[in-house]
Amino acid sequence: MELELEPLRPTIDLAMLADAVQAVQGKLYILGGGWDTLYVSGFPARHPTLAIAVRVRVPWTLSTTTLQLGVELQDADGVPLLPGGRVSHEVVIQRQSTEMDRAETGAVRSFTFNNLTFQSEGDFSFVISIDDEVTSRLRFSVRRKK
């Protein structure tokens, strides 16, 4: 009896909050990355800029594919907070190797958000999805400086 495996799907290999991110020629350039708390002097608080670094891992079985990589900001209750809803990028993966190459492929993307306003302290998350399926959450807090 031969087992039939489900086709593998793209996954999020890396997701990180940062002060700034650029995705250039397959590399992520990250400034001030890896934080999980924004400290502000008062509310409402407007944060000038923050970014998300994302690396998508695509299995070798998907030789050519197009996917939608989406990001949505939510509060602790799951209420969407971005004006206009989710932000998304179309990612086209084209394998350029031979038939015998079974290596996974990666694609990097960055999302930058300017002038986000937080009305009060709390917990938030950037929900990351691939083709409308949630694959990762970047959780962070906004707190008043003491």
Contacts of 88 (CB under 8 A, 6+ apart): 68, 69, 70, 71
**What CATH topology corresponds to 11-144?**
Immunoglobulin-like (2.60.40)
How much is the pLDDT for 106? 85
Model pLDDT for residues 78-97, shown as the tens digit of each residue: 999 998 889 999 988 776 66
The proportion of the chain whose per-residue pLDDT surpasses 90, expressed as a percent, equals: 71
How much is the pLDDT for 97? 60
Phi, psi of 28 (to 5 degrees): -105, 125
Model pLDDT for residues 6-52, shown as the tens digit of each residue: 447 899 999 999 999 999 999 999 999 999 999 999 999 999 999 99
pTM (global) more than 0.85? yes
Supply 2's token pair.
Answer: 């031969």
Domain ranges of the chain: 11-144
CA 19 to chain centre: 14
Supply 10's token pair.
Answer: 């793209």
Residue 80 DSSP class: B
How much is the pLDDT for 1? 57
